[in-house]
Structure 1
Amino acid sequence: MRPQPGRLRILIAALAGAGVLAAGCGDGGRSSAPDPAPSDSAGTASATPTASPSIPDTPVGEQLRWYLGVVERGAISQQEYEAHFAGEFLRKVPLDQFNTINRGLAGMRLTGLRATGRNGLEGTVVVGGQTFTLRISVNDAGEIDGLLVTLGGSDRPTAPASWAELDRRLREIAPRVGFLAAEVTPAGECRTVHAVEPGGPRPLGSMFKLYLLGAVAEAIGRGELDWDTRLTIEPELKSLPSGELQDRPDGSEVTVAEAAKLMISISDNTGTDLLLHRVGRRALEERLPDVPGNAPALTTRELFVLKGVDHPRLAEKYLSLGVEGKRAYLRDTVAKTQLSRFVLWREPRRIDTVEWFAAPQDVCRAFADLAELADRPGLERIDEVMSANDGGLGLDEKIWPTVWFKGGSEPGVFDLGYLARNSDGKTYVVTALTSDPKKAIDEGMATGELLALIRGAFALVPHG
């Protein structure tokens, strides 16, 4: 695991890399598949038109003016992309990913702006009636080296000053919470610094993709595949957003490395299912915690069918079966069910039975296992994959040069997990798992609040 300078900071809506069901703030009218990303009413802004703020005639102002135009156009060429962004940013964010993110921001309107130093600007924007914070920065050459779009206004919640304050605020987010702040020892063990119910299994959403990345890395280590192995995008393997691979032509190819990076950085569900198909369901099950609900380990497409097609009939039949019966049902019935019949759900739906599950302490071990794998020859690209998106955490890069992120969400589930290594070489994991089986979690509130709590946890962990 190596430090990654110029860490990518792109966060769209309720964390583009967060969940199975988080796909930015809608499809902008351009997506051919139904967007399973529900939006809360939190953060809704007035629809009354207001005058746009004045953008300064400075290098960062010019880049902001250009970027707002890009969002309006929807897509740019590789040549134009390279002309505006710093090299490190370009290496971490493929053009297809950049354009996909911007499609989710169609209709963006700047409503407020202030300077943040000589090379930075912070503003408020409105997209689809929701208020977001936009932060942009440039390097000394005038190239964009930081871009962040997050839910909520610029007055973000403050970090907690103590563990007691963190615990109190955490329990206000959802009725069921699990939390762990731990140091990862040189032996790869998670030494607890602070915890709230760290041993209870919780629904993970897309955080299960940490375990799948581990299974992929193990297969690469055994020589069964390589980062450059090509995967074919077959129609039966296409899932729903979040992601972009579902929009590529049938029969097109993607490398293991690209699928893995998209799976983690923007939670690409089709990339996830391609990798799961390649390594096999059993490989994922061997890495997931041995708790009820994790066998058989679902693909994202299977979860969408069980929760979004002819519900509750398919889900009830599935849950009535034993493990082997469920395997057969997934193969013989769910696999043959068309996603064209999918209907979006907006309230919690079987989050304790049709999901992937782990406790906060399990998630810490998953991060620690990936860190250990990343130090093995040939598996160093795990660091590149996991560092692609810091999930909006915004830790000081001089103090925390390496940050890994994965989150997960669906209605009633909102989870965030981070591994960070500081400049002293110490590694910590902080993860928060929140859920509510009765109503959807207000992600407009929960995003900023959880980020503040986790940011505070990283400030507190060195002191115990």
Structure 2
Amino acid sequence: MFRTPGRMSRLMGAVALVAAAALALSACTATEPTLDPSPPETTPPVAVTIPSTPVGERVQWMIDLINQDADITVADLDGAFDSTFTDAVALPDVVELLNVQIRPAQPIVVTAYEGSESQAVAQVTGAVGDPFAIQMSLTAAGLIDGFVLAPAEVPDPAQSLDEVKERLDDLGFTVRYSVVRTSPDGASEVLLEHDSTALAPMASMFKLYVLLAVHEQVSAGTITWDDVLTVSDENRSLPSGELQNEPNGTEVTVREAALKMISISDNTATDMLIERIGRDAVESAVLNSGHHDPTALTPFLMTREMFQLGFGTEYPVIERWAASSVADRRLMLESLTIDLPAIDLATVNPGAIWQQDLDWFASPADVAAVHEALAELDDPEVNAALTANPGIAIDPAAWPHVAFKGGSSMGVLTGSWRAVAVDGTTLTVVVMASGDDPAAVAQAQTEIFSLMTDVFTLTAVE
């Protein structure tokens, strides 16, 4: 997802984490299991699949450690935690806590998971004791700088689609959404809808259009999935992602970059792809997807340019951008000289920059259309990227194929899914939240994504 690093990332990440290491142990000690020697019989918890994102892999690593036969040792944790954590909490204390308070409840099963590529909340259940949550965040280098064990705070499941609508509409900021069910014979039914044809900021959902453009260029013979892209200072962006940390000369294929762009929302991978195929190719894909107002994505921004325009201090470009024509905006992009390393996001707080037209814009109906366009390609490489990370825990028995892309930025939170049921029924779900209070929007992530999970549960084919 499109996010800002450092302090802003903590505030505006896709999930609200307590990232301060000093809070970790106090949160953990509140979750000591009550070991009942003869607990009542209960239905075994249903495990969910943890996405293969950087933080997802770290969460799975922690679950495996907790469930192993031998006690956890400091050596098991060594090298996994950032110094900002270990300076406040000694690893031997973490080891003792896990061995004494958590491991007696094994096996630990993850029953719900929500997260981006660097921040996540996993709801877990043990053989004894109450359910609890593992909250984890990673630095750009992939080290754990936030690790909290706390009582599970799961929103009550919605009992109906009407309740989903009511709770979305009561969040206190703008939430546009669309839920459309299409039967195997092609008949469509709108199950939920609010302002679904109005433009809204997308954050990283814009990467769906880049993926479509990449496929179109492969089909045209302009590029291949095996072509090599190279990381350089000219295409290096800021997090989210991994490639921004790689040295100049690092090579990835178009296939690998596309997978990173969608599955972990890698901004540098995205910009490398746009650089390779050209901005005009992406703008053409926007038009081909059926976007109702392609000028809303013209010129099509790279993530690097977004950071330069929204957070640079060399000159007040943010005000100029909002007031400029398409032609003038293209000239502005050609003349950008702000150096990304000079941008210190920990010292700036521009608020919700989407209100200055600094984002990517589409309606829920437009996002549903680009999902449909991608599905119609039946391209194995496209499908692999879209299905690598489902974003939320969706029952794979009911919905075996789930394509997902979400996004988050200052004051923006979005999610989009196109799922196919066992009988061929398709459910397309798009939610786009935006407001002038970035913290309020970020804090609602768990509620919004839990409600989206409820949508799939409530509409599952019997």
Q: Aligning the two structures, in what range does the TM-score lie when normalised by the shorter sequence?
A: 0.7 to 0.9
Cα pair 2:12 2:408 within 8 Å, conserved: no
**Could you say if the C-alpha distance between residues 49 and 436 of structure 1 is closer, same or farther in structure 2, counting changes exceeding 3 Å?**
same
**Could you say if the C-alpha distance between residues 188 and 237 of structure 1 is closer, same or farther in structure 2, counting changes exceeding 3 Å?**
farther
Shift of 1:238: 0.5
Cα pair 2:178 2:430 within 8 Å, conserved: yes
Aligned residue-pair number = 387
Shift of 1:457: 1.2
Separation in structure 1 between the aligned mates of residue 372 and residue 70 of structure 2, nearest angstrom: 38
Shift of 1:131: 9.7
Q: Match of 1:309?
A: 312
Separation in structure 2 between the aligned mates of residue 283 and residue 115 of structure 1, nearest angstrom: 56
Cα pair 2:271 2:302 within 8 Å, conserved: yes
- Pairing of 1:246-265 with structure 2 (within 5 A): 246-265=244-263
2:367 maps to which of 363, 366, 378: 363
**Could you say if the C-alpha distance between residues 238 and 186 of structure 1 is closer, same or farther in structure 2, counting changes exceeding 3 Å?**
farther
Cα pair 1:399 1:423 within 8 Å, conserved: yes
Q: Secondary structure at the match of 1:271?
A: helix
2:9 maps to which of 23, 37, 60: 37
Cα pair 1:406 1:416 within 8 Å, conserved: yes
Higher RCO (CA-CA < 8 Å; seq separation 6+): 1
Q: Match of 2:353?
A: 349
Cα pair 1:20 1:269 within 8 Å, conserved: yes
Normalised to the residue count of structure 1, the TM-score between the two structures is 0.72
Separation in structure 2 between the aligned mates of residue 270 and residue 194 of structure 1, nearest angstrom: 35
Shift of 1:120: 2.6
**Could you say if the C-alpha distance between residues 154 and 48 of structure 1 is closer, same or farther in structure 2, counting changes exceeding 3 Å?**
closer
Normalised to the residue count of structure 2, the TM-score between the two structures is 0.72
Kindly indicate which of the two structures has a greater share of residues assigned to helix: 2
- Pairing of 1:68-79 with structure 2 (within 5 A): 72-74=78-80
Shift of 1:325: 1.7
Separation in structure 2 between the aligned mates of residue 381 and residue 133 of structure 1, nearest angstrom: 29
2:67 maps to which of 61, 64, 74: 61
Shift of 1:320: 3.3
Q: Secondary structure at the match of 1:441?
A: helix
Separation in structure 1 between the aligned mates of residue 396 and residue 202 of structure 2, nearest angstrom: 28
Shift of 1:341: 2.3
Cα pair 1:189 1:368 within 8 Å, conserved: no
Cα pair 2:263 2:389 within 8 Å, conserved: yes
Separation in structure 2 between the aligned mates of residue 390 and residue 403 of structure 1, nearest angstrom: 6
Structure 1, 197-206 or 219-228: larger mean CA deviation: 219-228
**Could you say if the C-alpha distance between residues 222 and 58 of structure 1 is closer, same or farther in structure 2, counting changes exceeding 3 Å?**
closer
Separation in structure 2 between the aligned mates of residue 302 and residue 322 of structure 1, nearest angstrom: 17
Separation in structure 1 between the aligned mates of residue 408 and residue 306 of structure 2, nearest angstrom: 13
1:133 maps to which of 111, 122, 126: 122
The answer to whether residue 26 in structure 2 is matched with residue 20 in structure 1 is: no
Shift of 1:425: 2.0
Q: Match of 1:407?
A: 406
Shift of 1:327: 0.8
Q: Match of 1:141?
A: none
- Pairing of 1:327-342 with structure 2 (within 5 A): 327-332=330-335, 334=336, 336-342=337-343
Separation in structure 2 between the aligned mates of residue 58 and residue 324 of structure 1, nearest angstrom: 54
Separation in structure 2 between the aligned mates of residue 64 and residue 291 of structure 1, nearest angstrom: 58
Cα pair 2:112 2:393 within 8 Å, conserved: no
Whose radius of gyration is greater, 1 or 2?
2
Cα pair 2:410 2:438 within 8 Å, conserved: yes
CA RMSD in angstroms comes to 3.9
Runs of 5+ unmatched residues, structure 1: 1-18, 27-34, 75-101, 125-129, 138-146
Cα pair 1:60 1:121 within 8 Å, conserved: no
Q: Secondary structure at the match of 2:369?
A: helix
**Could you say if the C-alpha distance between residues 356 and 233 of structure 1 is closer, same or farther in structure 2, counting changes exceeding 3 Å?**
same
Separation in structure 1 between the aligned mates of residue 159 and residue 375 of structure 2, nearest angstrom: 29
Structure 1, 338-347 or 450-459: larger mean CA deviation: 338-347
Shift of 1:275: 0.6
Q: Secondary structure at the match of 1:47?
A: helix
Question: What amino acid maps onto 1:241 in structure 2?
Answer: P
Question: What amino acid maps onto 2:122 in structure 1?
Answer: T
Structure 1, 65-74 or 394-403: larger mean CA deviation: 65-74
Separation in structure 1 between the aligned mates of residue 172 and residue 296 of structure 2, nearest angstrom: 22
Separation in structure 2 between the aligned mates of residue 114 and residue 173 of structure 1, nearest angstrom: 38
Q: Match of 2:384?
A: 384
Shift of 1:187: 8.4
**Could you say if the C-alpha distance between residues 43 and 329 of structure 1 is closer, same or farther in structure 2, counting changes exceeding 3 Å?**
closer
**Could you say if the C-alpha distance between residues 354 and 396 of structure 1 is closer, same or farther in structure 2, counting changes exceeding 3 Å?**
same
Question: What amino acid maps onto 1:47 in structure 2?
Answer: L
**Could you say if the C-alpha distance between residues 58 and 118 of structure 1 is closer, same or farther in structure 2, counting changes exceeding 3 Å?**
same
Separation in structure 1 between the aligned mates of residue 363 and residue 64 of structure 2, nearest angstrom: 48
Question: What amino acid maps onto 2:388 in structure 1?
Answer: A
1:240 maps to which of 238, 241, 250: 238
Q: Match of 1:300?
A: 303
Structure 1, 291-300 or 65-74: larger mean CA deviation: 65-74
Structure 1, 197-206 or 314-323: larger mean CA deviation: 314-323
Shift of 1:426: 1.6
Runs of 5+ unmatched residues, structure 2: 36-62, 114-118, 127-133, 138-147
Separation in structure 2 between the aligned mates of residue 188 and residue 339 of structure 1, nearest angstrom: 48
Separation in structure 2 between the aligned mates of residue 222 and residue 437 of structure 1, nearest angstrom: 42
The Cα offsets for residues 176-202 of structure 1, whole Å up to 9 and x where unpaired, read as 110111124668896522211111111
Cα pair 2:66 2:102 within 8 Å, conserved: no
Separation in structure 2 between the aligned mates of residue 257 and residue 58 of structure 1, nearest angstrom: 30
Cα pair 1:395 1:455 within 8 Å, conserved: yes
Q: Match of 2:152?
A: 154
Cα pair 2:155 2:450 within 8 Å, conserved: yes
Separation in structure 2 between the aligned mates of residue 304 and residue 278 of structure 1, nearest angstrom: 20
Shift of 1:154: 2.4
Separation in structure 1 between the aligned mates of residue 205 and residue 83 of structure 2, nearest angstrom: 22
Question: What amino acid maps onto 1:338 in structure 2?
Answer: D
Separation in structure 2 between the aligned mates of residue 212 and residue 273 of structure 1, nearest angstrom: 9
Separation in structure 1 between the aligned mates of residue 104 and residue 419 of structure 2, nearest angstrom: 28
Cα pair 2:398 2:460 within 8 Å, conserved: no
Cα pair 1:200 1:359 within 8 Å, conserved: yes
Q: Match of 2:142?
A: none
Cα pair 2:352 2:437 within 8 Å, conserved: yes
Shift of 1:62: 1.1
